Structure 1
Amino acid sequence: MKKWRPFASIPEQYTGLKEVINKQAEVPQPLLIEEQMEQINFTLIEALYTNHQVYLTYYKNGQRITETGFIQFVDSLGNLFVFIDEVFELKNKMRLSELINVRFA
């Protein structure tokens, strides 16, 4: 005996509904002023040399994501930095332009 599932009859509905819900949850990427970008850069460099744990808030695919980790490498001219995720201890390369906020844990 099969249970009647009215919304599972067309699998394409799930994909379409998921896309609509994800589009509604998207936020625009915030624009940072020069002072904020300098403060982020100084905090990154300080965290690199002191090996302090930081909270990184960055923008990716229409969402703000906050992770905890350690800074391993900063290249201001190349617009790149590398941090090690606290949870999985994975190296993540990211552009400085994606960062929204950096603060010490």
Structure 2
Amino acid sequence: MEYRGMKKWRPFATLPEQYIGLQEIINEQEEVAQPVLTEEQMEQINFTLIEALHTNKQVYLTYYKKGQPITEKGFIQFVDSLGNLFVFIDEVFELKNKMKLSELIDVRLA
């Protein structure tokens, strides 16, 4: 008789569709509703964005995407209040990211 050692096994791995469905359910449960900002908060965000743009300081951006709040660090390159758009360069990959101002939750100077 030969010793097989400890083998990993997944008892319910016969249906891969089941894992896809379970992952979707888990993701839906982890979703957070987008917070509604007051006028004061929106004014503060606009002020901070413009200050970071003119002084070329790094900012921490917290935005809402696909049910999750995401925080990134980067530089503001362009702000268009009328078009509800801004462009920032993230610190990690140095990529330009276009985003709607309505997706922003918070902006802080680094």
TM over 0.5: yes
Unaligned runs of 5+ in 1: none
Instruction: Please provide the CA RMSD for this pair.
Output: 1.4
- Alpha-carbon displacement from aligned partner over 1:62-97 (angstroms, at most 9, x marks no partner): 000000000000000100000001000000000000
In structure 1, give the amino acid aligned to 2:38. Answer: I
Cα 1:76–1:3, aligned 2, differ >3 Å: closer, same or farther? Answer: closer
Q: What TM-score do you get using the length of structure 1 for normalisation?
A: 0.96
Which protein has the bigger helix share? Answer: 1
After superposing on structure 2, the runs of 4+ consecutive aligned residues of structure 1 that deviate more than 4 Å are: 1-4
SS in structure 2 at match of 1:30: coil
**Identity over aligned pairs, percent:** 82
Residue in 2 that maps onto 1:6: 11
Distance (whole Å) between structure 2 residues aligned to residue 20 and residue 92 of structure 1: 29
Gaps of 5+ in 2: none
Matches of 2:8 and 2:69, distance apart in 1: 39
Greater Rg, structure 1 or structure 2? 2
